[in-house]
Amino acid sequence: MYGVHSPAASIPLLARDADRRARPGAQGVANAERRVGPAVPVAAICPHRFSRWAWGEGLRAGQTVALMVQDLGQAEAMRLGLTRLGLRVVCLDCAARDRALADSLSEAGPVLVVVDTALADAYAGVMGRLDAYPTLWWNGPGADYASLDLALAEQA
């Protein structure tokens, strides 16, 4: 039932799961050893800090920013921070390559693009295909210049 809180004890268990949960140290769902974090630690992005960074970069309401970010949590935090300033946010398809990505960028007309460092090869396919290139900021480890991680760390 929706909106009705029922205790977990009233939820029927499958027979194979019932004896697992009853044994101490079993490989059941509640076992602490089975809880593992993400394979690659991802730095958390605060929407407020991101909007302060964007304001400092000179971005103002009505402008467009393109995001090419694989982690949906980071993309959402960036989007929230940018829309707080009244910016239009376009999330680009990370699977798009060469001409398709260039067409998406030219249609959106962003003044700034945030690209994951893991997608550098995909973004490199855009080179030579656009009339004007937006400002580029790299998100993630391995960026030598225009690193979003370093810029956000300075905001702290």
Phi, psi of 89 (to 5 degrees): -115, 130
In a domain, 23, yes or no: no
In a domain, 20, yes or no: no
| Global model pTM greater than 0.95 | no
pLDDT tens digits, residue range 52-103?
Answer: 999 999 999 999 999 999 999 999 999 999 999 999 999 998 888 889 999 9
Which domain range does residue 104 map to?
Answer: 47-155
Q: How far apart are CA 117 and CA 68, in angstroms?
A: 10
Structure confidence at residue 151 (pLDDT): 83
- The whole-chain average pLDDT of the chain stands at 80
Q: How far apart are CA 70 and CA 91, in angstroms?
A: 10
> Which CATH number covers residue 78?
3.40.50.980
> 137: burial class by Cβ within 10 Å (0-12, 13-18, 19+)?
buried
In a domain, 76, yes or no: yes
Q: How far apart are CA 25 and CA 31, in angstroms?
A: 7
User: What's the structural domain count of the chain?
Assistant: 1
In a domain, 78, yes or no: yes
In a domain, 4, yes or no: no
In a domain, 39, yes or no: no
pLDDT tens digits, residue range 9-35?
Answer: 555 555 555 555 555 555 545 544 544
Give CA separation, 25 vs 32, 34, 76, in Å. Answer: 9, 11, 38
